[in-house]
Chain A
Amino acid sequence: MPTSTPPKDPRGKWLQLTIKIIALVSVLVFFNQIGHWLADQVSFQLWPRHAKMFFPFLIGALATYVLLLSIPFLPGIEMGLMLMSVLGSPGIILVYLATVLALSFSFFFGRQVPPRIIRHALDWFHLRRARELVTALEPLGPEERFHFLVESAPSRMIPFLLRHRYLVVALLLNIPGNALIGGGGGVGLIAGMSRLFPFPRYLLLISIATIPGPLFFLLRAM
């Protein structure tokens, strides 16, 4: 006797997806608010009475900044701006170095994420084609990945972006709307997960790409 699975209700599928997206956005908003709260705590008036706690504060604030910036969707930039305003010119250089460190952390974290977890995450959001792409990319090396992506890309735009991927990452790190893809931490994470960037080149890239912001503040402070 032939058996057949009942057809899934498309409305239920969409409802499920909507609930998942709302849950994810709620979690992100919650952590974002925590980040904003932390940034507000850093933004206090610095007086001689704070002299003894200055260096512990400096180390703690920089560590928090590195953590916030390296995790996607957390407001690391706000914290960086607060730190630069509190610490003055020498702080701008320190924040720049901390930014490079944070983006390196997110890159390494992206490298370490097993493709299995990425597949599960894409599956959870019903992004089946993206899951199939990750599955196909998994056994390939960096060069093969690049060629596979260029050849299988549905539009002409993607191969162009892939060929100029270093420029794309540099632009993404500096455009204001990058919060939509998780900010600097998100860009670093995706770059790491893509396995299309050797770390020395990525380090050079972020070292140059993150200069404009601190340079602007440095010139303004002079």
Chain B
Amino acid sequence: MTSWQRFLIGILTIFLGVGGWVVTPSSAAGNHPLEGRVFVVDTGRSGEGPSGRDVYCFREGKFLSTFHNTQHDFPPGPYTGHRVGDVIHFAADAQSPTRGSIHWEGTIRGEIINAAFFWRDTPRWYSWHNGPAKYWARSAGWGPTTSSGPDIAASHLLDGQVYFVKTGEKGNPPDHSDYLIFWEGRFVSSACVELNFSPSAYSAIEKDGTIRFHAEIRSPNRGRMTWRGTVRRNNTEGTAEWHYKRLFWEVVRHYWFRGPVYSME
């Protein structure tokens, strides 16, 4: 092999290596740059202002919109993504047995997600518009990373965990389902995010195989919620307390929650 040939092979190797880093197509690989990531997003109709909040999770090769899952029965769907420089382009699809299909596509730069999704609802005889409706989704911010309550020292013990829980008022049967998500030292309740409660730092300690956690989330117009729970053998259970003060009245309600770690399968 001549020195020219060695030089060409070297150039080719460098080119392929750099190219491989710049453009990394992937479909649900375990070490995909999106794997395990969680985003809180504002959403709205295309051309209109924000009308709701949602939590997007990339796990086990699938994409989950907690709002569309709990409200409209959309199960997690496969996602694909590729990196171009410091931007990750992604696409995902989900199919509901009752509410049609949704296609998401967008970009992620650092902590910021910017996406559009197209919802083709199941045609109904009374619906005059059967084309896909276009929506936007943008990062809503993660709230404080510091302690949010008097005895909450930020922890990362449960980071990456997602629990699918049933929750109800104390002494009552379950009222709804909720995703409790721990991500980068913060606690997210998907049902509360939809109501404008900001994700917040959580504290956690482990003793005898049981992790106890505590978090307090606040909303600008719906008061605060304190969550206390335990995690043991892939299951969580605990209580939540809602404090809502308005004029002379303070509403205090007590809730319970219980559920297993969430699997996208």
Chain A interface (Cβ < 8 Å from any Cβ of B): 45-49, 51-52, 54-55, 87-88, 90
Q: Do the beta carbons of B244 and A45 come within 8 Å of each other?
A: no
Q: Do the beta carbons of B195 and A54 come within 8 Å of each other?
A: no
A52 to B219 Cα, complex, angstroms? 13
A47 to B192 Cα, complex, angstroms? 10
Q: Do the beta carbons of B222 and A51 come within 8 Å of each other?
A: yes
Q: Does B223 contact A (CB under 8 A)?
A: yes
Q: Do the beta carbons of B221 and A88 come within 8 Å of each other?
A: no
Q: Does B18 contact A (CB under 8 A)?
A: no
**A121 smallest CB distance to B (angstroms):** 43
A52 to B223 Cα, complex, angstroms? 11
Binary A-proximity of B168-193 (CB < 8 A = 1, otherwise 0): 11001001100000000000000010
Q: Which of B53-61, B90-98, B249-257 contacts A (4 or more CB under 8 A)?
A: B249-257
Q: Does B246 contact A (CB under 8 A)?
A: yes
Q: Do the beta carbons of A49 and B252 come within 8 Å of each other?
A: no
Binary A-proximity of B227-251 (CB < 8 A = 1, otherwise 0): 0000000000000001010100111
**CB-CB nearest in chain A for B225:** A48
> In the complex, which of the residues B168, B172, B195, B246 contacts A48, with contact meaning CB atoms closer than 8 Å?
B195
**B44 smallest CB distance to A (angstroms):** 19
Q: Do the beta carbons of B244 and A54 come within 8 Å of each other?
A: yes
**B67 smallest CB distance to A (angstroms):** 13
**B113 smallest CB distance to A (angstroms):** 25
**B187 smallest CB distance to A (angstroms):** 16
Q: Do the beta carbons of A54 and B169 come within 8 Å of each other?
A: no
Q: Do the beta carbons of B222 and A48 come within 8 Å of each other?
A: yes
Q: Do the beta carbons of A45 and B175 come within 8 Å of each other?
A: yes
User: Known contacts being A46-B251, A46-B253, A90-B249, is A51 close to B244, with CB within 8 Å?
Assistant: yes
Q: Does B136 contact A (CB under 8 A)?
A: no
**CB-CB nearest in chain A for B192:** A48
Q: Do the beta carbons of B223 and A51 come within 8 Å of each other?
A: yes
Contacts of A49 in B (CB 8 A): 195
User: Known contacts being A54-B244, A55-B246, is A45 close to B223, with CB within 8 Å?
Assistant: no
Q: Does B197 contact A (CB under 8 A)?
A: yes
> In the complex, which of the residues A45, A87, A90 contacts B169, with contact meaning CB atoms closer than 8 Å?
A45
Contacts of B253 in A (CB 8 A): 46-47, 88
A90 to B242 Cα, complex, angstroms? 16
A66 to B219 Cα, complex, angstroms? 34
Q: Do the beta carbons of B252 and A88 come within 8 Å of each other?
A: yes
**A187 smallest CB distance to B (angstroms):** 31
A52 to B176 Cα, complex, angstroms? 19
Contacts of B175 in A (CB 8 A): 45, 47
A87 to B246 Cα, complex, angstroms? 13
Contacts of A90 in B (CB 8 A): 249-250
**CB-CB nearest in chain B for A94:** B249
A87 to B252 Cα, complex, angstroms? 9
Contacts of B219 in A (CB 8 A): 48
A55 to B251 Cα, complex, angstroms? 11
Given A45-B169, A48-B192, 18 more pairs with CB closer than 8 A: A45-B175, A46-B169, A46-B253, A47-B175, A47-B176, A47-B255, A48-B223, A48-B244, A49-B195, A51-B195, A51-B221, A51-B222, A51-B223, A52-B221, A55-B246, A87-B251, A88-B251, A88-B253
